[in-house]
Amino acid sequence: MLYFITGNRNKFREAQLIVGRNFQQLDMDLPEIQEINAEKIIAAKLAEASKYKKGEFLVDDVSLYLDCLGGKLPGPLVKWFLSSIGEKGIYQIAKNSENYNCQVKVVLGYKDKKGQVRYFDVVESGRVVCPRGKSGFGWDRIFQPLNSFKTYAQMTSEERTKNKIRFKALRKFKKYLDKNEKI
C-alpha cells in the first residue's frame, strides 16, 4: 500500500486527483528536522515513518524562496513564517525590500517497498503579492506565477490543476509510477 503522509486533507485530495491510484492518507505527526535542504527533511520523515508502518510512502515539502532574503529563506521554513507573521508579513518583507521576486519549489519524496528513495521536484518563479483570492491554502494567496495575472488562490479549480506547482510534481511522480511500479 502507498501512503501519502500528510495531515492536510487538501493536499491529499490534490494528490488523489492527479495520481489517480489507490493510496491512503496517513496523518502521522512526524518530527520535522529544521533544515534548509528539503530533501534532508523528506528523507528524515520517510525514515521515521518506516519505523511505524510497512509500505510505500510519499511525502512532500513546499518551499518559498524570496529573492530579497538571498533566495534562501523562508525555504522549507515557510510554514513557520506563515504561522508567525502570516501572509501579510511575508508580503511586507518583499514590499520593504522592493524586491517581490520569488521561487516556489515542491519536492516529493517517494520510498518504495525496497527502501529506495526517489525525489520529484519542480521549481516555479513568480512574485509575492498582497494577499488576493479566497481559495487555496498556505501561501496560495500571495504567490503569483510569472505566467499569470492571478494568484493560485484566485485561479479556478481547472486553472490550478493546469498550473499549480504541486500538481506538476505529482504528474512527474505519476509518470514514474506508470512506468515503473504496480501499486
Q: What are the extents of the domains in the chain?
A: 2-180
Closest CA to 17 of 139, 120, 161: 161
| SS3 assignment, position 163 | helix
Tens digit of each residue's pLDDT, the chain (183 residues): 889 998 888 889 888 888 877 789 988 878 788 899 999 999 999 998 888 888 899 999 989 999 999 999 999 999 899 999 999 999 999 999 999 999 999 999 999 989 999 999 999 999 999 999 987 778 899 999 998 999 999 998 788 777 778 889 999 999 999 998 654
Look at residue 17 in the predicted model and tell me its pLDDT: 84
**pTM (two decimals):** 0.86
pLDDT of residue 182: 56
**CATH of span 2-180:** 3.90.950.10
Cβ contacts of 126 within 8 Å, gap of 6 or more: 101, 102, 103, 104, 143, 144, 145, 146
Q: Is 150 exposed, middle or buried (0-12, 13-18, 19+ CB in 10 A)?
A: middle
Euclidean distance between CA atoms 3 and 59, whole angstroms = 9
